[in-house]
């Protein structure tokens, strides 16, 4: 069995917000107590809505934000200690907004070639070769190399973004909502592309998405985040067929599925109200104000992330309930 | 036979420019009293401009170039600005995708709701404010008595959308047009807002024209659905049928291309069926059937002749030479 | 394009129309005026009639505009037309070079302040606010008083005075661009801070900065005129439009051609620069607000 590619150990990222003069200094616990592993060739689906901390988590994994507590380890060694150029060869990212993720003043060729040159690849022919190779892999043509981003559609720009992420042949790619900003009819193209490339290049993915259909389709394992914490994690089938956290159930119930009109039983698992602010998280279990099965215990006691089955953990006092 | 609440007939919307184009063509549909109707399509297909036309909100360079819009049997496409002002808010209302830009940032939300009562029903301000508080309660905003004094920036996205719904439904309009009302919201909040809209409209007998790119959303909420592509309606069927038995290759492509919960458990991970190509821009609509460059079933006739509308059972239609 | 709303489609088309009408006109007229000024400056030795400094001849003093001297002569008998032609060199040099200095100072401070933030940003912002609060002409005067008169001192003084505008603009631009995906992507790809600032941020900020620089050139020319008028800029006998105005100060009514022509030269050049700046702004303005 190969060793772990990425290992997060009790990771926390806190921000101090506000000033002593105006309203006082508050701590924003964007990410709190996250421990998880990603193995080579695996796809981890990270699910959560706004404010859950998934973007902050991505930045911390990339080494762009220093964690307040805990450790991010790539191939066993702490990300903080590695030189930036080395981390760049290991972890990369695909961004959500194809319209903001490419430098409008650079041709595609430069966007793809510069990172190679930065790594020390001097031979022009070699650099060009890699660039053309990558363009072909993402389904673009050689003549696209000398064009500017505004000459491409959203789907094509996302392909360029994927090419840029993969040009250094990383091991782990964090995909942050890679298809949410695209037209529905091209989402399938991009998802298929990502999966093909994963197999072809032996990559691991962390697929961040709020779209459960996409997450179920691509993930091997799934982690559900709420207000900075993981509330449930496990294999994809377990999570979707046997969700043990009320928030996971609520997410599943909230999906408008054209084939199953939501029935009364499912609607009982829906979440109420609004997502709380991470600046002022509720006491005890962060989900309790919206939880359909909340009890007194939930208001005061934070549930631990504990196993309900091998490889399946949930942070709920009622994790053993099946509905 | 009862007159439908809204009847749109052969609507044509032109886009002025160096070369004039028709942004929307031959669009016809009907919405019955109290019925929920969905208009589905991707960006640029013309669904939003169709909604604007029904509200009389088309502005240069867009203009109504043909067709009829009838509300309760009365034609309104040529109404004067004064008549439109009377219609909007009291008989037809609209809510938008971005509540932050649709609400006045300088006015408390309670006042914005109360304005509806003052303008359309001649209520006094104090009476209107009371009714505004009641309206907030109806859209399930917690502590409405305090929220009426809040400004839009103090509320979350979901709350603002609730306020928009309150404003729209304040005077009990016959038709509510909702243009991507939940696209900017989180999934769990989205489903609450949709449930709320469905409930309130059912209670008040308000018809809904739901515009979205999300097939699932529309199928769950609406009784009938029309799919638009490149300015034309390509298929229209009852909600259940359109997903179970889509007849137009575009609809089939959309339905097949989305990963469905539970599919992978049943059949393993299948490669998602792609729709090749990109959505055409208005300046470069293909000749013949506009979907032909991307269509797996395209033949010569598709490239030369735009398909006519073929009626389907239950008042449906499909626009394809090779409909399934 | 994804999620182009009808509002954005119409705004896009309306914007393109507006450009063709307004931006285009400003651009052409402004460009023409500036082009003429530049051409005059470059070809000065060819198109001037006499040497602007050495041709003093008291026999020709204060002759009105006529065939021999198109703009007349001044109190020393020098041909005004030639002095204006040579004066364009001084004005344009001052305008261009001082703006280059302004932009270099302003952009480096603003770019680094916006990117790194923290104490450096606090310091730069404070300094910028200070500079904006001090009347620029007084500040330039003070520097000129230390450095003494002359072209080089003038350029230095003006260069050190007006950098706050480009600094503010650069900082604001960086703050908004910093969070764009491609800047984050560059960091993830291992780009260092300086490389990011030069390759990712600066090229995307140039538009508004060029506009400010163009408009600033007009301001610099006016400042030069003012300083020379006050006797602190270009000293006679060298021809600068400002010092020519200064010499004519007491004779505006009696010998009008001494002040009218330098005044017109300043007017048209600055007008041209302003129109050019406006026109550039219309082209370089992000028309791509229609994206989302």
Instruction: Please count the CA atoms within 13 angstroms of the CA of C58 that sit on its side-chain side.
Output: 0
Cross-chain Cβ contact B44/C4 below 8 Å: yes
pLDDT of residue A266: 61
For residue B143, the distance in angstroms to the closest alpha carbon of chain C comes to 34
Distances (CA, A) of A34 to A224, A225, B15, B315, C211: 11, 10, 53, 54, 49
C184–A contact, CB cutoff 8 A: yes
Chain C CB contacts of A175 under 8 Å are none
Cβ neighbours around B265 below 10 Å, total = 12
d(CA C14, CA A31) in angstroms, rounded, equals 45
The interface residues of chain A toward chain B in range 219-248, judged by CB-CB distance below 8 A, are: 236-237, 240-241
In chain A, which stretches have pLDDT less than 70? 1-2, 20, 22, 258-268, 323
What CATH number is associated with residue C209? 1.10.3720.10
A84–C contact, CB cutoff 8 A: yes
Chain A CB contacts of B216 under 8 Å are 255-258
What CATH number is associated with residue A34? 3.40.50.300
d(CA A243, CA C53) in angstroms, rounded, equals 92
pLDDT of residue C2: 39
Task: Give the Cα-Cα-Cα angle B213, B215, B220 (nearest 5 degrees).
Answer: 125
Chain B CB contacts of A210 under 8 Å are 186-187
pLDDT of residue C51: 79
In a domain, C65, yes or no: no
pLDDT of residue A186: 87
Helices (H) and strands (E) in chain C, counts: 13, 0
Chain B CB contacts of A242 under 8 Å are none
Q: Integer distance in angstroms from the first to the last C-alpha of chain A?
A: 35
B268–A contact, CB cutoff 8 A: no
The interface residues of chain B toward chain A in range 80-99, judged by CB-CB distance below 8 A, are: none
In a domain, A106, yes or no: no
Task: Calculate the CA dihedral of residues A16, A22, A23, A26 and round it to 10 degrees.
Answer: 0
| Option in A155, A156, A254 nearest B188 (CB) | A254
- The owner of tokens 């009696």 is C254
Cβ neighbours around A253 below 10 Å, total = 23
pLDDT of residue A51: 80
The interface residues of chain A toward chain C in range 150-189, judged by CB-CB distance below 8 A, are: 150, 153-154, 161, 164-165, 168, 181-183
A273–B contact, CB cutoff 8 A: yes
The model's pLDDT over A264-317, given as tens digits with 9 standing for 90+, comes to 556 667 777 777 777 778 888 888 888 888 888 888 888 888 898 898 999 998
In a domain, A113, yes or no: no
Domain that holds residue A84: 6-101+171-314
- The owner of tokens 């394992």 is A221
Closest residue in C to B15 (Cα) is C10
The model's pLDDT over C93-133, given as tens digits with 9 standing for 90+, comes to 888 899 999 999 999 999 999 999 889 999 999 999 999 99
In a domain, C94, yes or no: yes
pLDDT of residue C289: 33
pLDDT higher at B267 or C286? B267
Q: Side by side, which strands form the sheet with A91-94?
A: A91-94, A172-176, A204-209, A43-47, A221-226, A229-235, A312-314, A306-309
Distances (CA, A) of A68 to A16, A65, A302: 11, 9, 21
Domain ranges of chain B: 225-258+285-324
Count of residues making up chain C: 292
Q: Are A47 and A215 contacting, i.e. CB atoms less than 8 angstroms apart? A: yes
Residue C1 has pLDDT above 60, yes or no: no
pLDDT of residue C255: 85
d(CA B229, CA B166) in angstroms, rounded, equals 32
Mutation to test the C interface, candidates B22, B42, B48, most C Cβ within 10 Å:
B48
Cross-chain Cβ contact C3/B15 below 8 Å: no
pLDDT of residue B183: 85
The token duo for B258 is 């989305």
Task: List Cβ<8 Å contacts ≥24 apart for C84-87.
Answer: C84/C239, C84/C241, C84/C244, C84/C261, C84/C262, C84/C265, C85/C40, C85/C44, C85/C47, C85/C48, C85/C52, C86/C44, C86/C48, C86/C52, C86/C239, C87/C52, C87/C239, C87/C240, C87/C241, C87/C244, C87/C262, C87/C265
Strand pairing category for B62-71 and B36-40 = unpaired
- Chain C neighbours, 3+ Cβ pairs < 8 A: A, B
d(CA A159, CA A152) in angstroms, rounded, equals 10
Cross-chain Cβ contact C10/B43 below 8 Å: no
pLDDT of residue A259: 62
In a domain, A223, yes or no: yes
In a domain, A146, yes or no: no
Closest residue in A to C290 (Cα) is A99
A264–B contact, CB cutoff 8 A: no
Q: What domain count does chain C have?
A: 1
The model's pTM is 0.85
Could you tell me which of C260, C240, C238 has the C-alpha nearest to residue C251?
C260
HEC assignment per residue over chain A: CCCCCEEEEEEEEEEEECECCCECCEEEEEEEEEEEEECCCCEEEEECCCCCCHHHHHHHHCCCCCCCEEEEEECCEEHHHCCHHHHHHHEEEECCCCCCCCCCCCCHHHHHHHHHHHCCCCCHHHHHHHHHHHHHHCCCCHHHHHCCHHHCCHHHHHHHHHHHHHCCCCCEEEEECCCCCCCHHHHHHHHHHHHHHHHHHCCEEEEEECCHHHHHHHCCEEEEEECCEEEEEEEHHHHHHCCCCHHHHHHHHHCCCCCCCCCHHHHCCCCCCCCCCCCCCCCCCCCHHHCCCCCHHHHHCCCCCEEEECCEEECCCCCCCCC
In a domain, A160, yes or no: no
Cβ neighbours around C112 below 10 Å, total = 19
The token duo for B138 is 């109806």
In a domain, C166, yes or no: yes
Inter-axis angle of helices B249-257 and A184-201, nearest 10: 50
Cross-chain Cβ contact B213/A257 below 8 Å: no
Cross-chain Cβ contact C2/B43 below 8 Å: yes
pLDDT of residue C287: 44
In a domain, C64, yes or no: no
pLDDT of residue C288: 35
Range picked from C11-15, C135-139, C227-231, C236-240 for highest mean pLDDT: C135-139
For residue C193, the distance in angstroms to the closest alpha carbon of chain A comes to 12
Mutation to test the B interface, candidates C4, C6, C10, C13, most B Cβ within 10 Å:
C6
Closest residue in A to C195 (Cα) is A118
Q: What domain count does chain A have?
A: 1
Mutation to test the B interface, candidates A259, A262, A263, A271, most B Cβ within 10 Å:
A259
In a domain, A161, yes or no: no
C253–A contact, CB cutoff 8 A: no
Residue C182 has pLDDT above 90, yes or no: yes
The interface residues of chain A toward chain B in range 143-182, judged by CB-CB distance below 8 A, are: 153, 155-156
Cross-chain Cβ contact C6/B62 below 8 Å: yes
C interface residues, B as partner, C-beta within 8 Å: 1-6, 9-10, 13-14
Domain that holds residue C28: 6-55+83-290
The partner residues of A232 in beta bridges, in order of sequence, read A224, A314
Helix, strand, or coil here: B11?
strand
| Option in B43, B44, B61 nearest C10 (CB) | B61
Cross-chain Cβ contact A271/B220 below 8 Å: no
d(CA A48, CA A248) in angstroms, rounded, equals 9
Distances (CA, A) of A117 to A121, A134, A145, C139, C189: 5, 15, 16, 47, 11
In chain B, which stretches have pLDDT less than 70? 1, 324
């Amino acid at each position: 069995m190969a060793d772990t590619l990425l290992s997060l150990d009790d990771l926390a990222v806190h921000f101090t917000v506000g000033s002593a003069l105006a309203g006082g200094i508050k701590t924003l616990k964007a990410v709190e107590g996250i421990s998880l592993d990603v193995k080579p060739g695996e796809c981890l689906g990270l699910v959560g809505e706004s404010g859950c901390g998934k973007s902050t988590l991505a930045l911390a994994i990339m080494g762009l934000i220093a964690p307040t507590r805990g450790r991010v380890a790539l191939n066993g060694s702490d990300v903080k200690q590695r030189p930036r150029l080395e981390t760049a060869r290991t972890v990369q990212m695909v961004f959500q907004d194809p319209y903001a993720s490419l430098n409008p003043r650079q041709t595609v060729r430069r966007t793809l070639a510069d990172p190679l040159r930065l790594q020390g690849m001097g031979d022009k022919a070699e650099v060009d070769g890699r660039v053309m190779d990558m363009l072909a892999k993402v389904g673009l043509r050689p003549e696209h190399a000398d064009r500017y981003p505004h000459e491409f559609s959203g789907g094509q720009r996302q392909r360029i973004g994927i090419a840029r992420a993969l040009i250094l042949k990383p091991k782990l790619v964090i995909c942050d909502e890679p298809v949410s900003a695209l037209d529905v009819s091209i989402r399938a193209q991009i998802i298929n592309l990502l999966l093909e490339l994963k197999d072809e290049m032996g990559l691991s993915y962390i697929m961040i998405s709020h779209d459960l259909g996409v997450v179920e389709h691509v993930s091997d394992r799934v982690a559900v985040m709420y207000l900075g914490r993981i509330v449930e994690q496990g294999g994809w089938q377990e999570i979707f067929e046997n969700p043990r956290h009320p928030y996971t159930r609520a997410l599943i119930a909230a999906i408008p599925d054209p084939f199953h009109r939501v029935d009364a039983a499912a609607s009982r698992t829906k979440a109420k109200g609004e997502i709380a602010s991470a600046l002022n998280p509720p006491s005890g279990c962060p989900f309790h104000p919206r939880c359909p099965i909340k009890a007194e215990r939930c208001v005061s006691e934070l549930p631990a992330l504990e196993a309900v089955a091998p490889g399946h953990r949930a942070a709920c006092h009622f994790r053993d309930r099946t509905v | 036979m009862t007159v439908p609440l809204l009847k749109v007939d052969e609507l044509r919307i032109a886009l002025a420019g160096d070369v004039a184009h028709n942004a929307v063509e031959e669009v016809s549909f009907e919405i019955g009293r109290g019925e929920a109707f969905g208009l589905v399509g991707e960006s640029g297909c013309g669904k939003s401009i169709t909604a604007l036309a029904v509200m009389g909100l088309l502005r240069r360079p867009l203009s109504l170039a043909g067709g009829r819009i009838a509300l309760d049997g009365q034609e309104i496409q040529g109404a004067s600005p004064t008549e439109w002002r009377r219609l909007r808010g009291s008989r037809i209302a609209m809510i938008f995708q971005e509540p932050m830009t649709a609400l006045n940032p300088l006015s408390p939300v309670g006042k914005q709701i109360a304005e509806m009562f003052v303008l359309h029903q001649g209520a006094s301000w104090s009476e209107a404010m009371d009714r505004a508080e009641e309206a907030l309660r109806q859209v399930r905003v917690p502590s409405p008595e305090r929220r009426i004094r809040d400004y839009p920036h103090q509320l979350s996205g979901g709350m603002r959308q609730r306020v928009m719904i309150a404003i729209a439904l304040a005077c009990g309009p016959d038709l509510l047009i909702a243009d991507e009302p939940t696209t900017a919201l989180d999934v769990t909040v989205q489903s609450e807002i949709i449930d709320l809209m469905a409930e309130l409209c059912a209670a008040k007998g308000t018809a809904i024209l739901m515009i979205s790119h999300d097939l699932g959303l529309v199928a769950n909420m609406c009784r009938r659905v029309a799919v638009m592509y490149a300015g034309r309606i390509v298929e229209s069927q009852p909600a259940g049928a359109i997903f179970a038995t889509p007849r137009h290759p575009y609809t089939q492509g959309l339905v097949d291309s989305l990963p469905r919960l539970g599919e992978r458990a049943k059949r393993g991970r299948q490669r998602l069926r792609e729709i090749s190509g990109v959505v055409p821009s208005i300046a470069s609509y293909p000749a013949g059937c506009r979907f032909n460059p991307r269509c797996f079933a395209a033949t010569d006739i598709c490239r030369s002749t735009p398909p006519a509308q073929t009626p389907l059972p239950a008042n449906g239609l499909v626009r394809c030479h090779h409909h399934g | 394009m994804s999620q182009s709303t009808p509002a954005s489609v119409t705004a896009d088309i309306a914007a393109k129309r507006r450009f063709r009408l307004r931006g285009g006109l400003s651009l052409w007229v402004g460009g023409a005026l500036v082009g003429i000024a530049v051409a005059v400056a470059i070809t000065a030795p060819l198109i001037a009639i006499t040497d602007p400094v050495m041709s003093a001849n008291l026999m020709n003093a204060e002759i009105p505009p006529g065939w021999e001297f198109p703009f007349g002569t001044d109190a020393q008998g020098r041909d005004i037309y030639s002095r204006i032609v040579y004066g364009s060199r001084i004005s344009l040099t001052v305008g261009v070079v001082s703006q280059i200095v302004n932009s270099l100072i302003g952009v480096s401070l603003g770019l680094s302040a916006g990117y790194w933030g923290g104490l450096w940003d606090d310091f730069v912002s404070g300094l910028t606010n200070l500079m904006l609060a001090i009347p620029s002409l007084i500040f330039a005067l003070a520097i000129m008083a230390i450095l003494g008169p002359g072209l080089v001192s003038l350029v230095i003084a003006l260069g050190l005075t007006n950098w706050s505008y480009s600094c503010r603009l650069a900082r604001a631009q960086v703050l908004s661009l910093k969070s764009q995906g491609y800047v984050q992507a560059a960091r993830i790809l291992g780009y260092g801070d300086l490389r990011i600032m030069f390759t990712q941020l600066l090229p995307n900020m140039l538009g508004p900065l060029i506009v400010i620089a163009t408009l600033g050139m007009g301001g610099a020319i006016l400042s030069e005129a003012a300083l020379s008028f006050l006797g602190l800029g270009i000293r006679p006998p060298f021809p600068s439009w400002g010092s020519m105005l200064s010499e004519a100060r007491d004779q505006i009514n009696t010998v009008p051609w001494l002040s009218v022509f330098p005044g017109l030269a300043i007017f048209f050049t600055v007008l041209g620069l302003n129109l050019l700046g406006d026109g550039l702004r219309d082209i370089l303005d992000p028309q791509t607000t229609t994206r989302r």
